[in-house]
Structures are given as C-alpha cells and as structure tokens.
C-alpha cells in the first residue's frame, strides 16, 4: 500500500539527471523513477528544473533493500556555491536485518553541524513512504508519512541563529557510496557483489515559490506570511514528541562534543514548535 502519495508532476516534467544519467531511469509515464549505485564512483543524481525560495517538496521513496551498507540515498534542497543553504534527508544504509539511519541537517551560508538522526519505526525498504521538507520564513519541518519528526525555527533576527532565507534552492535526490562513514562509522563497507543498489521513487510534488535570483526573495517571503507560516498543531506536536522520544538516536544539542565554552548552541534552549 502506498502511504501519503506525493501527487505532483512527473519526473520527466520536474527533474533533470545531473550526475551519471545512465544510472537513472524513469518509467510509468515519468511517475516512477529509479536511481542506481553501481560502483564506488558511479551513483546517480536528479535535480529539479525549478529553483525556489520557500515551499514544500515531497516524494515517495522505497529505499535499497537487503544489504545496503556503505550506501547513502538522499532527498534534499540546496542552493549553489560554497556558502550554500541546504536542508537534508539522508538515508544511511546498513547490513541486512539492521535498520537504516535517517539523518537530517540544515545548512545556512555553508555552515551545518545541526544533525539529528532517527531509526525508522517502519521498514523503509518494504514499500514506498512519503518524505517531505517544508521550508517557510519561520521554520523548517521534516515529515515522514505526514508525521513531523523535527522542527528548526528561524531565530536569526532575535538570537543570531543562521537560517536559510535568501538563496534560491533546487530539490535533489541521489544515491552514492560513503563507505568511510555511512554504516557503523565506516566499519562496515559496501558488498559490491550485490550491486547495483537501487532506490525507487514514486511521484514528486513541488509546491514552491519559484525564484531564480535575489530579487524575488521578498515576494516569496510575503507569499508565505501569516497562515502558511503557522506553528504545528497540538496533535502534530504530540506525534513529533513520540518520534523523538522513541526513535531519535542522535541530537547535536545533546552532544558534549558540540559544546562551546561549556554551552550548547543557543537554539538548543529555545522553543522549536
């Protein structure tokens, strides 16, 4: 059963293959897509044709089944350049029978270090599941099957916390090898006898404010003011708290290695929903 289908345009209409296009193929009139990792240097990537500032990007993914150690499948948004903005979903593979790690992060002006990781409460290889990134002027929300798993609020003006606000982004999906760190800290490598490793996609939905230069940023910000920038409902907060208490395995705010002069990053002590 498909859960929360992303009812948008086809991959033919919305995306271009920007890396190793021979390892990417669309079918079912462009409504389905597969990305393959065939060697340590040959994966694949697609990128949306549209750039945008603010909006919601959503797709259904069935992750690589079986032994996926050393592989990373991604769904994220990013601007261009060294000082880029980025909002990440990364799915770190594992050996057969062990769960994936769902890795989230946000970059502003090229600086990230805001990782939060989860174990899935479902089998992400058995069927398609919906992964959604919502980016508004007031907050970023990561959703799985409509359940918010994380919020990152905009405290740039009030507390100086960097937040992506001014660089148009693209939406991306990719699969690539990261044997040096992806699985159990790099201790487990990919079994290339099992290649190709294939991630499958169904549907893509970009409900975004198209923007191709800095001149449209204020227009997009105004379009997402008010109701489009509201907080989560009490029910959504309850679901997110359940996910974070039961399935979160890493939070940069709780990592003693991230302390600066004995202090957590300032946003860690501020409300996030």
pLDDT, tens only, 89-101:
999 999 988 999 9
pLDDT at 229 over 80: no
Mean pLDDT of the chain: 92
pLDDT of residue 226: 58
The residue extents of the domains of the chain are: 11-269
H/E run at residue 18 = strand 15-19
H/E run at residue 176 = strand 170-177
Percent of the chain surpassing pLDDT 90 = 81
Eight-class DSSP state of 179: T
The pTM of this model reads: 0.94
Note whether 175 and 72 are within 8 A (CB): yes
CATH number for 11-269: choose from 2.60.120.200, 3.40.50.150, 2.60.40.1760, 1.10.10.10: 2.60.120.200
pLDDT of residue 83: 95
pLDDT, tens only, 102-125:
999 999 999 999 999 999 999 999
pLDDT of residue 227: 55
Tell me the C-alpha distance between 73 and 94, whole Å. Answer: 12
- Asked if 210 is an active-site residue, the reply is no
Of 90, 115, 179, 210, catalytic? 90
pLDDT at 2 over 90: no
pLDDT, tens only, 138-179:
999 999 999 999 999 999 999 999 999 999 999 999 999 998
- Asked if 115 is an active-site residue, the reply is no
Of 13, 86, 179, 267, catalytic? 86
Residue 2 neighbours by CB under 8 Å, 6+ apart:
60, 127, 128, 202
Spacing of C-alpha 227 from chain mean position: 24
pLDDT of residue 4: 38
pLDDT of residue 185: 83
Percent of the chain surpassing pLDDT 70 = 95
Q: How confident is residue 221, by pLDDT bands cut at 50, 70 and 90?
A: confident
pLDDT at 222 over 60: yes
Smallest CA-to-CA distance from 86 within 164, 142, 166, 176 is with: 164
């Amino acid at each position: 059963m498909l859960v929360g289908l992303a009812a948008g345009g086809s991959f033919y209409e919305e995306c271009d293959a920007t890396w190793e296009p021979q390892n990417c193929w669309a079918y079912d009139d462009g409504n389905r897509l597969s990305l393959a990792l065939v060697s340590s240097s040959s994966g694949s990537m697609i990128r949306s044709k549209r750039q945008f500032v603010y909006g919601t990007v959503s797709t259904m993914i069935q992750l690589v089944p079986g032994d996926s150690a050393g592989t990373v499948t991604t769904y994220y948004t990013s601007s261009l350049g060294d000082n880029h903005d980025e909002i990440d979903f990364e799915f770190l593979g594992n050996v057969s029978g062990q769960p994936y790690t769902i890795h989230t992060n946000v970059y502003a002006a090229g600086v990230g270090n805001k990782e939060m990781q989860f174990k899935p409460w479902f089998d992400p290889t058995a069927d398609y599941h919906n992964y959604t990134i919502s980016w508004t002027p007031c907050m970023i929300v990561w959703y799985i099957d409509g359940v918010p798993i994380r919020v990152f609020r905009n405290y740039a003006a009030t507390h100086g916390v960097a937040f992506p606000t001014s660089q148009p982004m693209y939406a991306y999906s990719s699969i690539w090898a990261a044997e040096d760190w992806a699985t159990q800290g790099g201790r487990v490598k990919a079994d290339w006898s099992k290649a190709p490793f294939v991630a499958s996609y169904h549907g893509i939905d970009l409900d975004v404010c198209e923007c191709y230069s800095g001149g449209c940023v204020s227009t997009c910000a105004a379009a997402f003011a008010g109701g489009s920038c509201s907080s989560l409902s009490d029910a959504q907060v309850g679901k997110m708290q359940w996910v974070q208490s039961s399935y979160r395995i890493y939070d940069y705010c709780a990592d003693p290695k991230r302390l600066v002069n004995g202090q957590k990053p300032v946003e860690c002590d501020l409300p996030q929903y």
